[in-house]
Amino acid sequence: MSTVPVLIDYNLYYPDEALERGLEGKAVVNLLVTGEGKVEDVKIYRSSGYYLLDSAAVRTARTFVFSPATLRNEPVKSSVQMPVEFLLKDIDLETWITEVKILQNKIKRQHSKEIIEELYNLYKRLIYSTRFKKNSGINGYIKEAVLNITGELWQGYWSAYPGSIILFADIVNRYPDSFISLKARADFNKFIKEEAIRIRSTVPYPESDTIINRLRSAMN
């Protein structure tokens, strides 16, 4: 009697750049699974259509943990084909701000890198969401999430343009000595290159340049 390997655990890796570009897709991978249920080899069988997602599928597949295949009740090495799907999650803003507040309060009680990173990941979900790129209706939730000093960056522009980019600055303002603060600065410097183009195409000059210069000054 034989059984096939069964996936029991994994960590999906969704690159920030793919989130920022709104990339979705499904790659199919061929795997070689050991008798211990670990992935020994990964190859792309069918592309998602994006190199970025294919690379992420390989990285994700390497985290797969299986209940191994068996032959005559003994675990054996086996081959299996699995899909790795990347879907952007819709964001419910009421749920988002509730989760943000919970994490901010938790960090006040227990200042840990892991919880700060969890908050930053929640911030990034909104920053990189394509749904809200041109929707300034999110700004009420952002105002509620950020410190007053962070909110001042968007003073005068709350009704003009969605301010999710200031969430990068809020991490820096809240936790300036943390490793996550350094990561937020690096992520901002990548993000602002394309975001500056969107701001200039939406907000009239010279206000557009004022926003961009404020942000760059705050993050440098």
Placement of tokens 């790129």 in the chain:
133
For residue 121, the model assigns a pLDDT of: 87
Q: Which residues pair with 25 in a beta bridge?
A: 86
Q: Where in the chain is the domain with CATH 3.30.2420.10?
A: 2-86
Q: For residues 201 and 199, give the distance between their C-alpha atoms in angstroms, rounded to a whole number.
A: 5
Q: What is the pLDDT of residue 59?
A: 96
Alpha carbon 88 to its chain's center: 10
What is the structure's pLDDT at 130?
Answer: 65
Query: How far apart are the C-alpha atoms of 7 and 82, rounded to whole Å?
Result: 9
Q: What is the pLDDT of residues 170-201, one digit of tens each?
A: 999 999 999 999 999 999 998 999 899 989 99
d(CA 10, CA 66): 9
pLDDT score for 133: 66
Provide the pLDDT for residue 125: 85
Q: What pTM, to 2 d.p., does this model score?
A: 0.70
Determine the 3-state secondary structure of 66 from DSSP: strand
pLDDT-flagged residues of the chain (< 50): none
pLDDT the model gives residue 83: 97
At residue 137, the pLDDT reads: 84
Token pair 């840990």 is at which residue? 112
Q: Tell me what pLDDT residue 7 has.
A: 96
pLDDT at 135: 73
Structure tokens belonging to residue 214: 């404020």
Q: Which CATH architecture has domain 2-86?
A: 2-Layer Sandwich (3.30)
From 128, 127, 124, 119, select the one nearest 98 (Cα to Cα). Answer: 119
